[in-house]
Structure 1
Amino acid sequence: MIGENLDRYVGLPVARFGPDGGGEPPAGPVAWRVATGYDEESFGEVWKRFRATVDTAAVTALVIGYWGASYDEHSEYPVPLLAESAAAFPNLRSIFLGDMTYMESEISWIEHEDVSPLFRAFPGLERLDVRGAGGLVLDPVRSTSLKVLRFESGGLPASVVRAVGASDLPNLEHLDLWLGTEDYGGDATVDDLAPILSGERFPALRRLGLEDSEMQDEIAEAVAGAPVVARLESLSLAMGTLTDRGAEALLAGQPLTHLKRLDLHHHFISAPIQQRIRAALPGVRVDLEEASRDEPYIEVSE
């Protein structure tokens, strides 16, 4: 469960605007968090006040919090509002969409729409983080600016995974996909990951996370021979149902000694195999923190 809102984003302290914070100009650079509350004023009204209060030309990072849900009196998806306001944010480089705790909305109940307009409206966007995947739509996009793309979900639709793999992002350095469970819409297959694993799509990729999956062993088997791995600095197969089967595939596959970090936390790997991993990767920072229960489950679902 996600119990706290972000207090820092892209190295900046988060300043709140909305029901949970004022709009006083900060002493230094911040990432502005804009949100409404359950059955309070619409997100559109908060956004209107935010634009009238803050020097939007100075905003480089936005954190978008609660915008309402279908059961609220007021619900307004923020992406169209952001896209319509693009001219007022000439220096916006980073967006976190969906900074909500479980008290506001469980991750798999966050209601999205199409996020593709953000790439057209903000051609200089360097980072996009999206939390939640209910109703999420993404078309294949092109951006020469984007360096970080992250999707946090309890179930990422295959259509979104395929759209990522079909996107033209020549400078993308960091990609995270929380794939989740089919129970919450996570219907992607290993085949859907093929364009990413081939190494042909994202020539600048250095950090890759394929995480929180019920098919973590199958992903590990595909990663073991994937061309993209040779140029990575960091690889994460964490948060899922990784067992000895997937771990042994990694050990038998291509060398991973060039990695700076291998994140396998929340796993179901036996102690002897864990020892083999550490012995095989003496110069790699390996995270093998175990899951809290013995029966395989993913770390983030509902």
Structure 2
Amino acid sequence: MTFASHFETFHGLPVLTFPEPHEEALPAAGEVAWRLDCSWETPFAELWQSFVDRVPSAEVRALVIGPWWHDEYSELRPELELILADAGRFPALRAVFLADVTGEECEISWLQLTDVTPVLESFPLLEELGVRGGSSHGLGEEPLSLRPVRHGALRVLRFESGGLPGEVVRAVGACELPALERLELWLGVSHYGGDATVADLAPVLAQGRFPALRHLGLQDSELQDEIAAAVASAPVVAQLESLSLSMGTLTDAGAEALLRGQPLTHLERLDLHHHFLSESVADRIRTAFGSAGTEVDLSDRQTPHRRRGEEWRYVAVSE
């Protein structure tokens, strides 16, 4: 799986890439999600200044950051500091996505991110935060990080990564997010910095940490069977409306754990797409959960690669 195109919508708004000065007239500031992209070789500092000069910042509701470099890959920290220095000019901002970048522009494991905690600290009314990338794959000085924080308004938190650092997973579990409704973690593989363990997920799987949580995604993991086994008895499942264990290396062992575990028939949706299940076990999943009215996604069945007599399974997103 690769990111072949940029967002078309974000936070319920159509995405508009901020145009060059000579291009068309601008829409009302609150009617679109504004995307900033340095691909036309304007340094980010100039692009940002043009944006705040031309767009009424007090009305901006959603902000999407695309490629922030215009020559060689660079870490996000200076650009993020520039944005946060102007946080007071954006009282209506409710959603931020960092690194809406396609595979052609930069591999996900090469994205050089930074500590994203200041985004939450600077925008106390933020409702949605999305981040793409994880390990900087040895290219940057500072990897993606998060510190435990309390935030009363955040409803959606999403980390898309081919290797999500365990430090970030543990920090998520230590955050106080009473309004959080949707949490999605793409855990990735150890080769690209995804060193989180199932034990790191324990606070997330416990009931009471996120009382408003209705959707949980623990995805894209080479530990997908172990995660499924943990989820099968996790207290948080009772409060969920949808669950995603997709994009990883789920096999019959993980599916059997779900079948033996607590009832999942209260879920509106169970997403297991990109999996390595046998047809017989996939049919049992469909029967056990689908017949009760749960929408079950078992699409994108994968076949293990065989190399030197061994089977190799792969996640949907790694590099």
Normalised to the residue count of structure 2, the TM-score between the two structures is 0.90
1:161 alignment partner, one of 148, 152, 169: 169
Instruction: Say if 1:175 and 1:207, in contact at 8 Å, map to a contact too.
Output: yes
Distance 1:292 1:251, change over 3 A: closer
1:188 aligns with 2:189: no
Partner of 1:95: 96
- Taking a change above 3 Å as real, the CA distance of residues 225 and 185 of structure 1, as seen in their structure-2 partners, is same
Residue 171 of structure 1 aligns with an amino acid whose one-letter code is A
Superposed CA deviations along residues 112-168 of structure 1, whole A, max 9, x for unmatched, are 011110111100000000011131011011111000000001000000000000000
Counterpart position of 2:315:
298
Structure 1 residue aligned with 2:43: 42
Q: 2:188, 2:318 within 8 Å by CA — same for their partners in 1?
A: yes
The residue matched to 2:216 in structure 1 has which SS?
Answer: strand
Corresponding residue number in structure 1 for 2:34: 32
Q: Distance in 2 between matches of 1:223 and 1:166?
A: 19
What pairs up with 1:83-232 in 2 under 5 angstroms? 83-133=84-134, 134=136, 135-232=143-240
Pick one of 285, 290, 298 that aligns with 1:288: 298
TM-superposed CA distance for 1:97, in Å, is 0.6
- 1:139–1:73 Cα change, 3 Å: closer
Q: 1:244 pairs with 235, 246, 252, which one? A: 252
Greater shift, 11-20 or 255-264, is seen at 11-20
C-alpha contact (below 8 Å) 1:42/1:76 kept by paired residues: no
Aligned equivalents of 1:112 and 1:74: distance in 2? 6
Q: How far off is 1:291 after superposition?
A: 3.3
**1:79 Cα shift?**
1.9
- Rounded to whole Å, the distance in 2 between the matches of 1:54 and 1:22 is 14
What is the one-letter code of the residue matched to 2:81? P
Structure 1 residue 82: deviation in Å?
1.9
The equivalences for 1:58-69 within 5 A come to: 58-68=59-69
Aligned-residue sequence identity (percent) comes to 55
C-alpha distance in 2, partners of 1:55/1:254? 51
Structure 2: how far apart are the matches of 1:24 and 1:268? Answer: 50
Change (3 A) 1:155 1:192: same
Where does the alignment leave 5 or more consecutive residues of structure 1 unmatched?
none
**How far 1:200 moved relative to its partner?**
2.6
Q: 1:1-58: CA deviations, max 9, x gaps?
A: 10101111122111111569947311670000012127x2321211111000101111
CA distance in 1, matches of 2:23, 2:74: 23
Q: 1:76 to 1:248 in 2, by over 3 A?
A: closer
Q: CA deviation at 1:290?
A: 2.9
The 2-side partners of 1:70 and 1:184 are apart by 24
Q: CA deviation at 1:92?
A: 0.1
**Uncovered stretches (5+) of structure 2, i.e. residues with no partner:** 137-142, 306-312
SS at match of 2:157: strand
Does structure 2 retain, via aligned residues, the 8 Å contact 1:94–1:126? Answer: yes
Asked if the contact 1:98–1:130 (Cα under 8 Å) also holds between the matched residues in 2, the reply is yes
**Alpha-carbon distance in 2 for matches of 1:247, 1:124:** 39
Report the Cα distance in structure 1 between the residues aligned to 2:281 and 2:263, rounded to whole angstroms: 16
Is contact 2:184-2:217 (8 Å) kept? yes
Q: What is the distance in 1 between the residues matched to 2:144 and 2:111?
A: 9
Name 1:51's counterpart in structure 2.
Answer: 52
- The alignment yields a C-alpha RMSD, in angstroms, of 2.0
Aligned-partner Cα distance in 2 for 1:291–1:43: 41
Q: Provide, for residues 87-128 of structure 1, a one-character-per-residue CA deviation record: whole Å limited to 9, x for no partner.
A: 110000001110000111111111101111011110000000
What is the identity, as a one-letter code, of the residue corresponding to 1:87? Answer: G
For residues 197 and 167 of structure 2, the distance between their equivalents in structure 1, rounded to whole angstroms, comes to 11
CA gap 1:104/1:20 in 2 versus in 1, 3 angstroms: farther
